[in-house]
Structure 1
């Protein structure tokens, strides 16, 4: 076993890059990742520097910023950001950092402002990021135009908002076009967040995603969820029963007649969209399987639409039902700490207490999220053991996990060896991050 000796910061960083490159290059895709990927601070920092600063991330829902001046904030690692709706309806994204002395500008998770004003010294910015006011003491030759907010990339489609911190973000157009197509009937301009849940899981973010990408554990862990959700969403799944295939065939014919998109669409390993039936006779993910909101989304005319499942790696999965949506956002907080935000979204004119009961709306996924939290945390505790070794995946039950980690490995290697890495990988390893 190797330990990390005292080295200059740049040497430690470079050696961490090599160790990660080495482990991913020789990894057996049939097995789980080596221990440092789940608990090492240096690996976590490298992920945040490469993957989370370079990939498109699900950030928020457009309906959370319906009008000029509405904003939301979030933290991507150590990077606070703000997304704000401009006067022309365009969303603008900025690093939530004043150009004066670096204070955060917007201190709340969401709100509405006329201008973006720093609470420290009242430097004032237009909603498009231009600096408008910097006080009277900066000198006559002070150039306001040189100190606008630092922008970041923002895209909105089908009601979903994505951000990317990279100077040159990866392509996203194909996914956004597909998302618009699937979400058109939901009319997300007429929607709002009815309920939100934020839970911190004491587990690595990849364990949270891995847990979501398989239902191997569902029958033993999720009685509330399996009262409505099928354990699979593809008739080619070897576990799919004849009864499921017949239900899918019947439902797809109905959806086709109503011009409701349902086809399974994969856009590399990062994005996956498909509509699949819930349990026969069930129309929503509620305790009794009946609608959670009396007003259906958009122009939909029936609640019996199953679940439109939308996956966007590295940090989101979603269920779009006829009567409401459930969105999930994952943000890493540390090597063994992850924030999971769930939002239940209803039609914009739905009235709480009349059209929906928020406690009933959230009951199934509150229970499921807590069950998943416990599973991920126990998974983390076991991985931290000196006895942990990468274990084998089931190609039948855990193919989604295999796909996720294949995507993760490919993207990490691209960032480590491509132009965005901006450094070469050393020829010989100077240390190992592996333990035990």
Structure 2
């Protein structure tokens, strides 16, 4: 990493007006992007995939995060593990496809093979005195919660348990371990990844941009927000009592600014995120018996938000590609035994969020184009409706600044704090 980039980033963050948007380099500068991928993204727990995508021993999927590639697989004992997708011989990628099933992982270059435990199993023509010890695949930290698989690329990852403990009760009733992915949408957005997240974290834009979504949800949904309408407050109380009777947690978790789970009702008598508000799948998830359970909204910064309903779930995963390009992957899940054409129709199931995602892509790309211009200056967030975006940028800035502090020249550090 370039020292002048570290110094400049530190200076901009320490001089930043509280709760204003970031300065231009954080959104468009390739050197700043490389810095944050090294100092920020590799240190975070990142949503990667669902457990139901690798249901049997030997099933694997490939997850690419910037320059890193990771193999996520299910071992013979049923546990999930992850390894860097890098052969210990001369560094070739091992798994080249997106997913597969194997008894062993075999490098296509020189056929070194690895057990599902990551241990080197066999080599060719390395000599009789060559020992396979010490040549296992490099492991990647894995965290699993309620059917979600998270990865951490750091050698010393932060604890995953607090997140799991806080959110798992919301997820378990939907039994996403026993779901299946029925549709995937991948959008490469010409925008910085933070703009994708910033857009998601506020509904300031929703009324003017998301007609398909806004007949199902409300612009203000926090019961503690003074802008919440009396009608929605009454709905929250009624549905909260119903969910209490079913022993379904619904209140906002408040344990960390990085993540949250909450169960919220839909508006207008809707029970699902479909155009008509009726269930998108007649076979409900898990052992649920009522379609009218609202949606569990699961957030984990920096790369995922989710809606888990009674009839289906929608997962969103954000991975940076470059300073000005982001991959957004959306997956729709239903019960593993649901039958297409009988229990659900893919087009009907996906139309609300497929449209909303394209609308959000256009918003993020237009935002990015404006930030690239010479007239861009950071601006303030609305206290009335942009609290989620404010909190995300605050969390990002604090985390990146904490990583920069020990790396910045003492003189520059003093200058930055004095700016």
CA contact (8 A) 1:71 1:83 kept: yes
1:228 Cα deviation from its structure 2 partner: 1.1
**Matched residue of 1:121: which SS?**
coil
Partner residue in 1 for 2:412:
428
Partner residue in 2 for 1:382:
370
1:58 Cα deviation from its structure 2 partner: 0.5
CA contact (8 A) 1:191 1:348 kept: yes
Q: What aligned pairs does 1:333-348 form with structure 2 within 5 A after superposition?
A: 333-348=321-336
TM-score (norm 1): 0.93
> 1:77, 1:277 → 2: CA distance?
36
Q: Does residue 68 in structure 1 map to residue 52 in structure 2?
A: no
Partner residue in 1 for 2:168:
180
> 1:361, 1:426 → 2: CA distance?
56
Partner residue in 1 for 2:211:
223
> 2:306, 2:5 → 1: CA distance?
34
Equivalent position to 1:317, from 281, 300, 305: 305
Q: Does residue 155 in structure 1 map to residue 143 in structure 2?
A: yes
Equivalent position to 1:81, from 58, 70, 75: 70
> 2:384, 2:160 → 1: CA distance?
30
Q: Does residue 205 in structure 1 map to residue 189 in structure 2?
A: no
Gapped regions of structure 2 (runs ≥ 5):
none
CA contact (8 A) 1:18 1:426 kept: no
What are the superposed Cα offsets for residues 60-106 of structure 1, whole Å, 9 maximum, x if unpaired? 11110111011111111100111010000111111101111111111
Partner residue in 1 for 2:285:
297
What are the superposed Cα offsets for residues 292-346 of structure 1, whole Å, 9 maximum, x if unpaired? 0001110211111111101100000001111000000000000010000001011
TM-score (norm 2): 0.97
Q: Does residue 124 in structure 1 map to residue 108 in structure 2?
A: no
Q: Does residue 248 in structure 1 map to residue 232 in structure 2?
A: no
What are the superposed Cα offsets for residues 347-368 of structure 1, whole Å, 9 maximum, x if unpaired? 1111111111011111000000
Q: Does residue 36 in structure 1 map to residue 20 in structure 2?
A: no
Q: Does residue 277 in structure 1 map to residue 265 in structure 2?
A: yes
> 1:339, 1:277 → 2: CA distance?
29
1:238 Cα deviation from its structure 2 partner: 2.4
Partner residue in 2 for 1:5:
none
Partner residue in 1 for 2:4:
15
Partner residue in 2 for 1:168:
156
1:426 Cα deviation from its structure 2 partner: 4.1
Equivalent position to 2:38, from 34, 43, 49: 49
1:392 Cα deviation from its structure 2 partner: 1.3
1:186 Cα deviation from its structure 2 partner: 1.0
Partner residue in 2 for 1:7:
none
> 1:82, 1:266 → 2: CA distance?
33
1:261 Cα deviation from its structure 2 partner: 0.9
1:189 Cα deviation from its structure 2 partner: 2.3
Partner residue in 1 for 2:14:
25
1:424 Cα deviation from its structure 2 partner: 4.5
Q: Select between 375-384 and 111-120 the one with higher mean Cα deviation.
A: 111-120
CA contact (8 A) 2:27 2:194 kept: yes
CA contact (8 A) 2:217 2:266 kept: yes
**Matched residue of 1:142: which SS?**
coil
Q: Select between 216-225 and 175-184 the one with higher mean Cα deviation.
A: 175-184
1:232 Cα deviation from its structure 2 partner: 2.5
> 1:265, 1:148 → 2: CA distance?
40
> 1:352, 1:332 → 2: CA distance?
33
Gapped regions of structure 1 (runs ≥ 5):
1-9
1:167 Cα deviation from its structure 2 partner: 0.6
> 1:362, 1:426 → 2: CA distance?
53
**Matched residue of 2:133: which SS?**
helix
CA contact (8 A) 1:416 1:425 kept: no
CA contact (8 A) 2:45 2:150 kept: yes
CA contact (8 A) 1:52 1:76 kept: no
